[in-house]
Structures are given as C-alpha cells and as structure tokens.
Structure 1
Amino acid sequence: MALVEHSKILEFLELVGRLKHIKRTGWVICDINDCETIAGHMYRMGLMTFLLTDENNPTKLDRFRCLQIALVHDLAECIVGDLTPHCGVPPDEKHRREAEAMKKIAELTGIAGDKMFDLYMEYENQSSPEAKFAKDLDRYDMILQAFEYEKRENSPKLLEEFFTGTYGKFDHPFIQDLVKELYRQREEFEKKTLVQTSSA
C-alpha cells in the first residue's frame, strides 16, 4: 500500500512541477519575451502573505491560510493550462475543467489533497476574507509584473489593459496602499521616459 501511495505522491509532484515551466498566457499573448511561469506568480503571491503584520492586518487575517490559498489557487493549471478570456473557453467551462483537474490532483494525495481542494474552492467561491485577500494578491502581482515588463522594455503603458482590468478592484487597505505606490512609480516612469524621448 505504501508503495502505491508513494507512487501517487510522485505523480502529484511531477504534475505540479509542470507549473515551473508553463508560461502565463496573458504575457504570451502580449508577446512578452522570457515571461514568468505560473509557479513564479504563485511564489511571489505566497511571499506577499508574509508582509501582513499586526499594523496592516486589522481584521486579523490568518496569514498561513492566505499562504496556503496563494499556493493552491492556480494548481489546476498544471493539467488544464492557464486559461484566460482570450482562449475562447466560456467561464463556466473553465471552472468545470479546473474543478475536475483539482479533483484528480486531490485523489493522488489523500487527506492532503482534500485540504488543497477545499482551499481551492474557497478561493474560487471567494467565501472567506483570506480568499478575498488572495484575490487581491493575484491581481496585484499581475499589475506589478506588468509594470516590471514595461520598465524592462522601456515602454510606458505597454500593458495598460492589465491596469484597466483591475482598476478599483482591490479591497484590502494594505494592498490598496501598495497599488497607490505602484501607480505613483508607473506615472513617474512614464514622465521620465517622455522627457528622455523628447530630448533625444
């Protein structure tokens, strides 16, 4: 029995290992070279949960739960890929495929898988303050990454659609403050680039 269980765990680890190599669809569509992978996105989201402190976490969010949700929220993509609205898959079908993939993943790891599936559904249904915070992290990491690409390419507003699509959708005060700072730096970058361009 133990050998069977261990072989399933190995299968699970190989499946999720794919996330280290699958590039995020949004960047691929925008022709961004050397773009991030799904695992890279989840990793930075996970690290952001450590930034919650007594000062910026007045509602006492469970930091460990936020971390767990961040690490499982895109897990299904190791099977179904990173489906975006540009992929032509209706939202209901996307959710169905992802839930099915998560069930398969859960079956490989027993009780641990049940826990991952529950956390995934919590995120999908946005049914807890921690799930809502993870959604903020998901959106924030995306616009931060977009800004990093704009700076790398020296192209202000290159990825404006990602900012437009998330504008006003951040709920947690701490993340709202980080968004304001990101917007400030992005505006500064745009002005600086315009000055350089006009004086060239």
Structure 2
Amino acid sequence: MTPSVDGGNGDVTSLHSLYMLVGELKRVRRTGWLLSKVGQKEETREDSSCNPNSQKSVDDLIGSGVDCVESVGDHMYRMSIMALTLPLGQYEDSANLDRDRVVKLTIVHDIAEAVVGDLIVGRDNLTKDTKHKLESDAILRMKSMLENANSNETADSLHSLWLEYETQSSQEAKLAKDLDRYDMILQALEYEMRDNAPRKLQSFFDSTEGCFKFACVKNLVQVLYDKRKQFQELFPQQ
C-alpha cells in the first residue's frame, strides 16, 4: 500500500528524482584512479586502454579489470568528515572560518558529477571552459528540481555553494580545496599500500606539492609524507 502524504505544496516527486540522481555519485568512479589502473591485474595493466589520451569511455575502463576504485561519493563523504572534525580553532589561519559552511562546500563541490561524470581537463580535448559549462548546466538542472519542489531557498543555496567552491571566492572554499587535494593523496597512499606498489602514484603527489594553504591541512600532509616514506623504505628496490 502506498502511504498517504499530508502537507507541503511542492512537487515531492521532483525531490525523489533529485535524490535518485544524486545517488549516481555512489557509482561514478574517480577517473584519475581508472587512468592509473588502480586495482587492475598485471595482465590488464599492459593494455594501453587507460592511456590518458585514449578515446575509451570510463565505462570501458571500469570493464577492463578494475576491482575496487573510489567513487565520487566516497571522496565527498570523507572530505565532509574532515571538515566536520578538523581542529580549526587551534590554528590562527583557520580559527575564524565558518565550519558549517566548509562542511556544506565539501558536500556540494563535486555534486555535478552525478550528471556529467568525473571529467578531466585535457582528456579527449576537454577544455576548462567546456568542463565548467557542463557542470554548471548540471547544477542548474538540480536547482530547477528543487524549485519545482517549492524549495527555492535550498535551490539558491545549492547553486551559490557550488559557485563559491568553483570560483574559490572565500576562505572556506579554499580550505575545502585543501581537503580535496589532501583526500586525493591520502587515497593515493592507501592504494599504494594496498597494492604494495610504492611510488606508483607519484604523479598525484607531484600535482599537489606546494598547493596547500592552511596549517591544519599542512600538518596532516606532513604526517602523510612521513608515513609514505616509511612505507617506501620497506621496498628499497622498487
């Protein structure tokens, strides 16, 4: 029996559709790991299909032997836990930040990927402007779904949070970006340790070196570097 619904003037079906759409984040794999052939068997790694310039789709890459690759939803969830628990007040450069806003930014920052997937600028000739347009259109689609549910306030909030992160227009957005980068190299270390493959994902560490802005994250990064060095010393020949 279908339960009855009382109260509310909005289109609840539109909310249902939005939540179904956002659920795609659980299934959208992070493209960087797919291109790096994380979790693939040795014979699969010899295949050139994961070349960053390949025309193969992400679905093709998933089908070529990836066992367990982080989803966008996985990434966003751990970022939000970081934002919720970081000791911001212990550091002068983050003591006055709005923690709740940072948490919201981490939850929203990649939400467009539920529609467009995890796009990488330069792959298949994708430009930064085209990526921004595709993701912006996806956010506007979600905003419209909230407006159909008479949730204009949350619709505007979703859109403004995404724009704030995208343009890095606040200190809170900059901290969220630090967490985005930190979570990426933390995941990279986890994959290297899982696969006994020290230095395999060095490019991810290189891409973030010198990019961290906040002391609370820099300290975490230093601990990560120390742990990675200790792990690498177990494999002196690799």
TM over 0.5: yes
CA shift digits 1:139-165 (9 cap, x unpaired): 000000000000001011010000001
User: Counterpart of 1:186 in 2: which secondary structure?
Assistant: helix
Larger Rg: 2
Cα distance in 2 for partners of 1:183, 1:85 equals 27
- In structure 1, the residue matched to 2:74 is 40
Q: Which deviates more from structure 2 when the two are superposed, residues 122-131 or residues 55-64?
A: 55-64
TM-score if structure 1 supplies the norm length? 0.93
Amino acid at match of 1:175: V
Partner of 1:49: 83
1:118 to 160, 177, 185: 160
Aligned length: 196
* Structure 1 residue 4, shift from structure 2 partner: 6.0
Q: Which residue type is aligned with residue 99 of structure 1?
A: S
| Greater RCO structure (CA 8 Å; 6+ sep) | 2
The answer on whether the counterparts of 2:121 and 2:131 sit within 8 Å (CA) in structure 1 is: no
Query: Is residue 2:25 matched to residue 1:19?
Result: yes
RMSD: 1.7
Alignment of structure 1 residues 67-78 onto 2, 5 Å: 67-78=103-114
Aligned to 2:145: 108
Match runs of 1:89-108 below 5 Å: 89-108=126-145
Unaligned runs of 5+ in 2: 1-6, 40-67
Pick from 224, 227, 230 the counterpart of residue 182 of structure 1: 224
**Residues of 2 paired with 1:192 and 1:23: CA distance?**
30
Q: Which runs of 4+ in 1 moved over 3 A?
A: 1-4, 56-59
Q: In the alignment, which residue of structure 2 is the partner of 1:155?
A: 197
Question: 1:85: Cα distance to partner?
Answer: 2.8
Amino acid of the residue matched to residue 37 of structure 1? Answer: S
- Normalising to structure 2: TM-score of the pair? 0.79
1:63 corresponding residue in structure 2: 99
Distance 1:85 1:149 in 2: 23
Q: Structure 1: state its 5+ residue gaps.
A: none
CA contact (8 A) 2:175 2:214 kept: yes
Q: Which amino acid aligns with 1:127?
A: S
Higher helix share: 1
